[in-house]
Structure 1
Amino acid sequence: MLKKLLSTLALGLCLSGPGLSGPALAETNIKFTLGWKTQGSDAPFLLAQQKGYFKAEGLNVTIDQGEGSAATVTRIMSGAYDAGFGDVNAIIQNAATRPGEVPIMVYQLWNKPPFAIVSKKTTNITKPADLVGKKLGGAQGTPTTRLVTVLGTLNKVDMSKVAIENMGPNLQEPMLIKGDIDGALVFNITSWFNLINNRQDPAKDYNWLLFGEFGLDLYSNGMMVSQKLIKENPDAVAGLVRAVNKAAVEIGLDAEAGVKAVLAYDNLAKEELERARMKFSYEQLILSPEVDRLGLGDVDDARLARSIGIMVEGYQLTATPKPEQIFTRQFLPPPADRKLAYKTN
């Protein structure tokens, strides 16, 4: 009898013991928020759901559309969501005052920042010095608008000679097209396709001054999770990361799989437009020498520390968060599993 009891206990321990290598036995519910309305750049999360990669990890993931990449942070801080796709810089901003409540980035997807100043080529804005005497339009509170002064300072531009007009994000491209402003402070992955929707050619007729090329080498969007989820169910976090990583790597080799996942999630999405946006996210924001070196999802520690310093200056934060309050690599799969091979076609 005793021998049978001990065998039963041993079996129970084997089945319920902790570990990051396999899915939990009981399905874990996770509420996940995207960064905005359905876009092609959401494909890694939507493919992981559609192909059952979350399910295989013992996760029941509910994905909702978002209200902005910064809002992902506040949604998770409120307790309404467990995880989401959002901007690491918003984590930095909130960590300065509420370090115990902010989510932690566990998979840094966009290695390069989308922050840009777009202008008509006829305006001839190609570098920060060209901003002098120009009028820019920016949505109040966005990273691009908040950090343009830091961009100017780093590049020795007298920003008192640059006019910045606050406007709703929906007005930026129309006012730029009309000539009411000389440049717009935007996310390139959003504005590029807004211009296409306005029958413009963003490659032929517009210049793109990228912040990352002029001293603001920041990280951007990735997958973040609540501190509560990390503490209470680290296995679920590891499974979430594995599933998304598997999908992100797969899309690099099979773009159509990503497109199909986007359309399966939202049949109102425009197939051609979102295919192009998904490819843009890979080619302009994800692929980089750093990703080749470190693999998808990871960061360079020294670069992250510099990024935090830039945000502290740009947002005049009263405290400087530590890198470990912003990002953890403890849930990342091995580097070999995060190697991105990308097919351009």
Structure 2
Amino acid sequence: MKMNWKQLAIALGLFLLGYFTFNGKLFAQSAPPAPALEKTRIALAVGGKNLFYYLPLTIAEQLGYFKDEGLQVEISDFAGGAKALQAMIGGSADVVSGAYEHTINMQAKGQAITAFVLQGRAPQIVLGVSNKTMPNYKSIADLKGKKIGVTAPGSSTSIMASFVLAKGGLKPSDVSFVGVGAGAGAVAAFRSGQIDAMANLDPVISMLEQKNEMRVIADTRTLKDTQSVFGGPMPAATLYASDAFLKKNPHTTQALTNAMVRALKWIQQAGPSDIIKVVPESYQLGDRALYLAAFMKVREAMSPDGLFPAAGPATALKTLQTFEPDLAGKTFDLSKTYTNEFVLKADAKYK
């Protein structure tokens, strides 16, 4: 049977859409099989999973997006991001849900770590002083010799606090950083006066603000505030792994990315009631209304698509070099600290 150009164009279009014709009847083609995963069981480390900073991870887990991709993800929750990084370096975790800055710090130590999906486009970290122990606070200089609570020394909260201190003329060694975690323990440490200031995230910060227990001196919960503090876009939570893992497990990495991008897109469409239904009750610190109010404060901090902004890595490097003299004279290849390769494929899948 001869076909004219119009019929040929229609047939080609149907074929590309996954259909073909036979004897005048339309049939669907079977979809090509998904590539086999190199590794289906993944050990993932995170520091402070209850925080909004890692909400996309929680959504992907709770809604079964990892399972839909054929993955069994076992999540270990640590007191802070630095501890999660240690788990991966030590070999007990394959992947980390943690701050982008760790990829730069590890490159400085000769270890190739690459972030492959962005969860947050603003750090959401807040530094505040105690109205109980520092009622007369006036400037950063007043923090000299004080105890500052962070999720864990070396974590993203410690990095943010160190940067704000440096801008105010203080070195990290001018204060004492105390690891207090990211939940009820952090609230208790602040309220009891064990620490004079704290760098932490929501819902912890909103709980202390609600009763006027904390005076905020630096805030990165919105894009505008992040720009004000860091002077540019600042990548926050990511999924990162060693280069060796990515090269050995590209299909598994793609599956992880697919699940996370799907979660990010779900968050963009979700309302407060949807969040409450999915997030474990224990994450809400006993106050559902406060939790929802805190979510609305940080919602824009969530990445809408998982892509790393072009100027973000340079902002992170500049931040670290401000207070870490060992990094000041070193040359970095920031292109090796992150990749958008997997996210671009995932975004195409979940348009």
Give the TM-score, by structure 1 length.
0.69
Partner of 1:260: 277
Query: Which one of 193, 207, 230 corresponds to residue 215 of structure 1?
Result: 230
Root-mean-square deviation (CA), in Å? 3.9
Rounded to whole Å, the distance in 1 between the matches of 2:159 and 2:143 is: 17
Distance (whole Å) between structure 2 residues aligned to residue 25 and residue 141 of structure 1: 34
2:349 matches 1:332: no
Task: Answer yes or no: is the 8 Å Cα contact 2:164–2:218 preserved in 1.
Answer: no
Corresponding letter in the other structure for 1:328 = T
Give matches, 1:105-116, under 5 Å.
105-116=115-126
Structure 1 distance, partners of 2:107, 2:73, is: 26
Summarize the Cα distance change of 1:215–1:253 in structure 2 as closer, same or farther, 3 Å threshold: closer
> The residue matched to 2:338 in structure 1 has which SS?
coil
- C-alpha change, 1:63 and 1:315, in structure 2 (3 Å) is same
Please state how far the C-alpha of 1:148 moved relative to its aligned partner.
Answer: 4.5
- Alignment length (residue pairs): 300
Letter aligned with residue 110 of structure 2: R
Which residue in 1 is equivalent to 2:108? Answer: 96
Contact 2:82–2:154, Cα closer than 8 Å, also in 1? no
Report Cα offsets for 1:49-89 as digits up to 9, x if no partner. Answer: 34332222222222232331222222222222222311111
TM superposition shift of 1:117:
2.2
Corresponding residue number in structure 2 for 1:132: 141
CA contact 2:129–2:216 (8 Å) conserved in 1: yes
Shift of 1:308: 1.2
Instruction: Map 1:45-194 to 2 at 5 A.
Output: 45-100=57-112, 102=113, 104-119=114-129, 123=135, 130-135=139-144, 136-139=146-149, 140-145=153-158, 148=161, 150-154=163-167, 157-159=168-170, 164-169=175-180, 177=191, 184-189=197-202, 191-192=204-205
> Counterparts of 2:74 and 2:179 in 1: how far apart (Å)?
30
In structure 2, how many angstroms separate the alpha carbons of the residues matched to 1:172 and 1:62?
Answer: 25
Q: Are the counterparts in 2 of residues 24 and 235 from structure 1 also a CA contact under 8 Å? A: yes
Are 1:287 and 2:286 matched, yes or no?
Answer: no
CA distance in 1 between counterparts of 2:35 and 2:276 reads 27
Residue-by-residue CA offset, 1:85-135 (whole Å, 9 max, x unaligned): 1111122212211323x3x2111112112343213579476xxx8223445
Question: Structure 1 residues 276, 109: CA separation in 2 closer, same or farther (over 3 Å shift)?
Answer: farther
> Taking structure 1 as reference, are residues 142 and 222 closer, same or farther at Cα in structure 2, changes over 3 Å only?
closer
Please list, as runs of the form range in 1=range in 2, the aligned pairs for 1:299-338 lying within 5 A after superposition.
Answer: 299-318=308-327, 319-333=330-344
- The TM-score normalised by the length of structure 2 is 0.68
Q: Give the direction of change, closer, same or farther, for the CA distance of 1:151–1:234 in structure 2 (3 Å limit).
A: same
Deviation at 1:330, TM superposition (A): 0.5
Query: Percent same amino acid at aligned positions?
Result: 18
Structure 2: segments with no counterpart, 5+ residues = 1-30, 221-225
- Asked if the contact 1:27/1:58 (under 8 Å) is kept, the reply is no
Structure 1 alignment gaps of length 5 or more: 1-13, 17-21, 340-345
Offset of 1:153 from its aligned partner? Answer: 4.5
C-alpha deviation, 1:215, in angstroms: 3.3
In structure 2, relative to structure 1, the CA distance for the partners of 1:163 and 1:48 (3 Å cut) is closer
- Alignment-derived partner of residue 45 in structure 2: 33
Distance 1:49 1:222 in 2: 15
Query: Which of 278-287 and 43-52 deviates more?
Result: 278-287
1:201 matched to 2:247: no
Name the stretch that deviates more: 51-60 or 133-142: 133-142
What is the CA–CA distance in structure 2 between the aligned matches of 1:47 and 1:150, rounded to whole Å?
31
Could you tell me which residue of structure 2 aligns to residue 234 of structure 1? 250
Distance change (3 Å), C-alpha of 1:153 and 1:32: closer
